[in-house]
Amino acid sequence: MSYSYTLWFTFFGLLIGHGAGAITGAIIGFIFDNLRHSQRKRATPEAGGFVGPLFTLLGAVAKSDGRVSEAEIAIAERLMSRMGLGAEQRKQAATSFNVGKQPEFDVTHTINELRQWVGMRRDHAFPVLDVVIETVLAEGNPPPEKMAILRQLAFALRISDMELMALMAMKGYAWNAGPGRRGHGPGAGPGGYVPPQRSSQGPDPYTVLGVDRNADDRAIKRAYRKLISEHHPDRLGDLPDDMRKRAESRASEINAAYDRIKEARGFK
């Protein structure tokens, strides 16, 4: 539990009321810290509650272009191992994957389950998206059917097109949302898929941070702080190690992109 409010109110109380003010400020701050802790606790997703709907969605993504490939099956099996699923959870995951790959399966309910599990925790939304992206890219440039499901999921988890593009860029790919698109609705406007665009230095740093190349230094710093706070692995609670490692990898990409921009622009 963080005691930042307690410290700030104590300090403020000390400034305006000396000892008595510090005590009063500490009490008020402690109440705020407890309220914040209770809200975060309620917002924390139940451990393991995402396994069923996640693998159901992976099955639907794999089948969306008409066939489930060996590469997509291998990704699902590898994910089960990396997530450290026990025998019962592996059975649940395999069953869920098979449910998702049934013909004409509607992903809407499954995506809603993931949205409810994530709740307001955006730091949990990104690892879920990262897992789905891995299946979407299993065979290289994905067809529109797979991208449609991915963008529908991103929209449900309140992840914008720009943020989704940043996640794709970290893997060396870039989704072009189409001319004039700025929102994050799943079906507005045309889009296209840009083949892997990754230099020897890594993905485009501006795309990773989700900012325009003409953005000023302050906007870049603000975008970096927001991203690194959302992707920091220490905030993931009891998610499996695999998802924590994904967050660590993204945090490294974000730091690397920010360092490249700082070096190019000459600011600290």
Same domain, 7 and 128: no
Distance in angstroms (rounded) separating the CA atoms of residues 106 and 133: 19
- Cα torsion 246, 251, 256, 258 to 10°: value is 140
Q: Say what the pLDDT of residue 33 is.
A: 60
Same domain, 16 and 96: no
Same domain, 14 and 108: no
Number of domains in the chain: 2
Same domain, 238 and 201: yes
Q: How far is CA 67 from CA 62, 102, 218, 228, in A?
A: 7, 10, 47, 37
Q: Which residues contact 254 (CB under 8 A, 6 or more apart)?
A: 208, 209, 224, 227, 228, 231
Distance in angstroms (rounded) separating the CA atoms of residues 130 and 21: 48
Same domain, 155 and 104: yes
Q: Say what the pLDDT of residue 98 is.
A: 95
3 state SS of 19: helix
Same domain, 78 and 157: yes
Exposure class string for 148-160: b at 16+ Cβ within 10 A, else e:
bbbbbbbbbbebb
Same domain, 10 and 111: no
Q: Say what the pLDDT of residue 2 is.
A: 57
Same domain, 6 and 62: no
Q: For the chain, what's the residue count?
A: 268
Same domain, 23 and 82: no
Query: Which token pair is 58?
Result: 């992976």
Q: Say what the pLDDT of residue 5 is.
A: 57
Q: Say what the pLDDT of residue 84 is.
A: 81
Same domain, 3 and 72: no
Residue at 264: amino acid letter: A
Task: Give ∠ CA 168-230-147 in degrees, rounded to 5.
Answer: 25
Which structural domain range is residue 57 located in? 51-265
Distance in angstroms (rounded) separating the CA atoms of residues 79 and 10: 47
Residue 206: CA atoms inside 13 Å, Cβ hemisphere, count? 10
Per-residue model confidence as pLDDT tens for the chain (268 residues): 556 656 666 666 566 666 666 677 667 766 766 665 454 444 444 445 688 999 999 999 999 999 999 999 999 998 888 888 888 889 999 999 999 999 889 999 999 999 988 887 777 888 889 889 989 988 888 888 999 999 999 999 998 887 888 788 777 675 555 544 433 334 334 444 454 455 556 677 887 888 888 888 888 898 888 888 776 666 656 566 666 777 777 788 888 888 989 888 887 7
Residue 30: CA atoms inside 13 Å, Cβ hemisphere, count? 7
Whole-prediction pTM value? Answer: 0.63
Residue at 110: amino acid letter: T
Q: How far is CA 142 from CA 7, 95, 134, 137, 156, in A?
A: 51, 24, 11, 6, 20
Closest CA to 246 of 258, 232, 256: 232
Distance in angstroms (rounded) separating the CA atoms of residues 185 and 190: 12
Task: Give residue for tokens 């890594």.
Answer: 202
Same domain, 22 and 62: no
Same domain, 79 and 37: no
- Cβ atoms of 133 and 171 within 8 Å: the answer is yes
Q: Say what the pLDDT of residue 162 is.
A: 79
Q: Say what the pLDDT of residue 206 is.
A: 84
